[in-house]
Chains A and B, each alone.
Chain A
Amino acid sequence: MLLSDPALAIGDTPLVRVAALTPANYEIYLKLEGNNPTGSIKDRVALYLIEDAERKGAIGQGSRIVEPTSGNTGIALAALCVSRGYKLTCVMPENTSSERRTLLELYGADIVFSPANEGSNGAVRLAKEMAADDEDFYMPFQYGNQANVRAHYETTGPEIISDLPDVGAVVAGLGTGGTLTGVGRRLKEHNPAIKIIAAEPEYGDLVYGLRNLDEGFVPPIFDPSLLDGRIKVDSQRSLAATRALAQNAGVFAGVSTGAALSVAQRMCTPDRLPEGTKIVVISADGGWKYLSTGAYDAGDTSKLAEDLAETVWA
């Protein structure tokens, strides 16, 4: 594969069967989004967000961009901004892994940290304030920008259909809702019987913040009518499944992959999905950016999960 620009390496990720971790009479496949250039599914989204802004004439050489992110979207945007001459500022909760900070700084992005006790919604609040206070900033706003959904409707979804036309269910993590909404819409057009299931990370108290519930946040692009179920997974179960994936299938994935995998495993009973169903799990990223959290260290997994619970891992 010879490509003239790193951005052209985005997408067309492998779909691999993980028989070792699949209950009998079902098939589970992982779509390995960690194979994208900056190591996560967010490369697809960042490319669509940037190209959308360029097409609208909202940004050009030297433009300043600000975006709230828990990490992966920021890293993906930062890499694209390097070659296109944009200046990126990421607003990120301070309780994210240190690799995210390192990578963003390496790509030349500025980082503004939002307080841990505001949870991940605090980054959204702060970025909105910064964009409102400074007209010079362009904010793609992945949570409210249909280009996010379109990235998955036009690329992730069709790739799944092409590799596995008889897919029966898709499980993906819920962050912006972009993957679930875009993939869900595309797959239900292909076959309305396909089940779309959200795996929602459940964190420790710190990540949810201490603020009023009225300051909660549901991403405007998220369309829950496409979902057939939404299951929460805590750090303990996510980590156990993530480690099992490495130890039994040789796949080194990020913690949110474990969350989605454990939901897929839970779906493998005849009262939920017919026997023989092929389930696609979206593996949003690889494990590299989480090494410093200790999640992959030797030791008592429940203790490691306790520490991880206060880190935003999706």
Chain B
Amino acid sequence: MAIEVRVPTVLRKHTAGERRVSGQADDLRGLIDDLGARHNGLRSALVADDGSLHRFINVYVNDEDVRFIKGIDTPLSDGDVVSILPAVAGG
């Protein structure tokens, strides 16, 4: 299953400058493992030692924040778009 992953500027050092990469997995945990195996340093940039997503990272599946779906266990299907964005302030 092909999942499109959008990578923010700060993480492109791990993807040879690519803003879009693709991965194969049936949930977010699997996707991060898959990406980590091919893009050195990406996994530790996204996931803390306890296995949860880093506090300053937001991950969206088809625009929805996974923290409000099933977190790192959020299921994925073919054609889903996963976006990674740094947390920013407004106001």
Q: Is A192 an interface residue (CB 8 A)?
A: no
Contact of A228 among B11, B68, B83 (CB under 8 A): B68
**Structural contact, A201 and B45, CB atoms closer than 8 A:** no
The interface residues of chain A lying within 8 Å CB-to-CB of B65 are 198, 200, 229-232
Q: With the chains together, A215 CA to B83 CA distance in Å?
A: 19
- Cβ of B57 within 8 Å of any chain A Cβ, yes or no, is yes
A212 contacts the other chain (CB 8 A): yes
B49 at the interface (CB under 8 A from A): no
* Known contacts A218-B55, A231-B63, A231-B64: A208-B90 contact under CB 8 Å: no
Q: Which residues of B contact A205 (CB under 8 A)?
A: 8-9, 19
Which of B54, B86, B89, B91 counts the most chain A CB atoms within 10 A? B91
A208 touches B10 (CB 8 A): yes
B85 located at the interface, meaning its Cβ lies under 8 Å from any Cβ of chain A in the complex = yes
A213 contacts B90, C-beta separation under 8 Å: no
Contact B89 A121 (CB under 8 A): yes
Residues on B with beta carbons closer than 8 Å to the beta carbon of A124:
89
Task: Please report the C-alpha to C-alpha distance between residue A202 and residue B19 in the assembled complex, in whole angstroms.
Answer: 15
If A178-B91, A216-B55, A232-B83 touch, does A210 touch B67 (CB 8 Å cutoff)? no
Task: Report yes or no: B10 in contact with A176, Cβ–Cβ below 8 A.
Answer: no
User: Which residues on B are within 8 Å of A, measured CB to CB?
Assistant: 8-11, 19, 45, 54-58, 60, 63-65, 67-68, 83, 85-91
Q: Which residues of A line the B interface, CB within 8 A?
A: 42, 68-70, 72-73, 119-121, 123-124, 142-143, 173-176, 178, 198, 200-203, 205, 207-219, 224, 227-233, 312, 314
